[in-house]
Structure 1
Amino acid sequence: MLQPLSLDVASRTDMRYSLEQLYQGRALQSFRSGQEICLRSDEVWVVIRGVVQLGTFYDTGDEALLGLACSSMPFGLPLTLIRPYHASALTDADVMRLTWTELEQSPVLAQNIFQHMARRLRQTEAVLAMVGYRRVEDRLRHLLLLLRQEVGQPVQEGTRLSVRLTHQQLANAIGTTRVTVTRLISQLREENWLIIDGDRHIILPIHVKA
């Protein structure tokens, strides 16, 4: 059962404010949706706007979704033991690149990074819990509830996922096939568990509970 995250919008705003104060004049780097982000062993990236997809590849060549870095979340090679590890912009995104040395020299920034790493840890645990469900349908529901928590925007019908994931991306995340996800999405629509809006974004209605 997913529980609401304790870090609210104010804490994410504080993180952006800290970055702006510490690094005034430093240009953000912008990435278009689908664009790969180059990762180096001594650099950490922080998402300012948008969503970044984090993943790895199995020996078979299949891709696995490891998580989504949203506003104020850090990511980078110094923060993971997974290899290969890659990041790409799921939406148009603005990110700030910091060196590991800069983090070590700024207690304020390091504290903020720790806060949002804890947020990432909770997200990772939710993904691990999702993998434990035997039924593919349960894994898909759990993933969509997690996405609602991370990237949901309130709308009249319920909560709209601000990112548009393909059926293949959803399939990679829950360890199944695109065909299965397509079938389950249709089933959940018939059950009124989800809605697809005119821009092909998923909306979870108000009555859908975690």
Structure 2
Amino acid sequence: MYIGSKRGIISQFERYSLYLSFEPEVWAELAAQVKPTSYRRGEIIRPGGDTSARITIMLSGVAQVGTVLQSGRGIVTHIIGPGAVWGMPSTYVDDVTLPTRTSLTAMSECEVCHVPRHILLQWVEKDRRNYEHIIHHECRKSLVFVQHIELLSIPTVRCRIATLLLSLCSSVGEDCEEGLRIPLRLTHQQIADIVHSDRVTVARIISELVKNALVTKVRGCLILVDVNHLCNLAMGLA
């Protein structure tokens, strides 16, 4: 979580955050039993429809969880960082051959551990407190889903984009010389998939933000230059 100089200004946008991280040490015993796997930005870590009955623990990096609606439209449901787990519900169902409904794609260089179902169950049986960790993690994930719904309830795409950028800064932002940096190389399509818009509209709005000196882009990463103005824009006051 960002703790820099603009913390007080952007903290109000935490309620819209899609970012989920967790205490990595909780899964240390599980992660120690399998060999880590590395992925480059853009690589698919786990595809939609996966039936391998295993969980994926994020050790480092950031990945997006996405799905495809019945209409054929792709959306990003949330973003996960170190300590977050993908695939827990599908691993715990009675029929483990059922395919997952979401996919996991690296947004940066990532290192993960793919833990088979039998190792997870042994870990839980060893100490019931471990099951409490799972429940805690899944409750946190449910809260992120609610926060995404709140983001999508914001009436205009421009306000949703400004809110998304501020909420990402609240989660993973970094102070830099130009302003407040989001250390993720977000494409216009990724932003569109999050705010339920289209790539052309997002590209136009980002260009407007850059033209008005509210945002700039350095080495593929967006930097918020005028945070106060963006806050007003996000709340429909500008």
TM-score normalised by L of structure 1? 0.80
Give CA deviations for 1:60-109 in whole Å, capped at 9, x if unaligned. 32211101111111111526999631111121211122324145224454
Distance 2:100 2:35 in 1: 29
User: How far has the Cα of 1:196 moved from its partner?
Assistant: 1.2
Structure 1 residues 185 and 178 mapped into 2: Cα distance closer, same or farther (>3 Å)? same
Which of 84, 91, 95 pairs up with 2:112? 95
Structure 1 residues 22 and 177 mapped into 2: Cα distance closer, same or farther (>3 Å)? closer
CA contact (8 A) 2:66 2:103 kept: yes
Partner of 1:200: 220
Distance 2:189 2:206 in 1: 12
Which of 60, 69, 76 pairs up with 1:65? 76
Is there any run of 5+ residues in structure 1 with no aligned partner, and where? 6-10
Q: What SS does the aligned partner of 1:46 have? A: strand
Distance 2:110 2:82 in 1: 10
Query: Are 1:153 and 2:171 matched, yes or no?
Result: no
CA contact (8 A) 2:179 2:224 kept: yes
The residue identity in structure 2 corresponding to 1:143 is L
Distance 1:4 1:173 in 2: 15
CA contact (8 A) 2:44 2:104 kept: yes
Distance 1:127 1:162 in 2: 20
Partner of 1:8: none
Distance 1:40 1:194 in 2: 42
Partner of 1:128: 149
CA contact (8 A) 2:14 2:171 kept: no
CA contact (8 A) 1:44 1:78 kept: no
CA contact (8 A) 1:73 1:117 kept: no
User: How far has the Cα of 1:170 moved from its partner?
Assistant: 0.9
CA contact (8 A) 1:161 1:203 kept: yes
Structure 1 residues 156 and 102 mapped into 2: Cα distance closer, same or farther (>3 Å)? farther
Q: What SS does the aligned partner of 2:210 have? A: helix
Identity of aligned residues (%): 25
Give RMSD over aligned pairs.
3.0
Give CA deviations for 1:150-185 in whole Å, capped at 9, x if unaligned. 332232333211111110111121121211111100
| Structure with max Cα Rg | 2
After superposition, residues 68-83 of structure 1 pair within 5 angstroms as 68-76=79-87, 78=89
Distance 2:149 2:38 in 1: 30
User: How far has the Cα of 1:123 moved from its partner?
Assistant: 2.4
Which deviates the most, 29-38 or 130-139? 29-38
The residue identity in structure 2 corresponding to 1:28 is P
Which deviates the most, 110-119 or 188-197? 110-119
Is there any run of 5+ residues in structure 2 with no aligned partner, and where? 1-11, 94-98
Structure 1 residues 113 and 202 mapped into 2: Cα distance closer, same or farther (>3 Å)? farther
CA contact (8 A) 1:29 1:95 kept: yes
Structure 1 residues 193 and 44 mapped into 2: Cα distance closer, same or farther (>3 Å)? same
Q: What SS does the aligned partner of 1:145 have? A: helix
Partner of 2:103: 86
Query: Are 1:33 and 2:41 matched, yes or no?
Result: yes
Q: What SS does the aligned partner of 2:14 have? A: coil
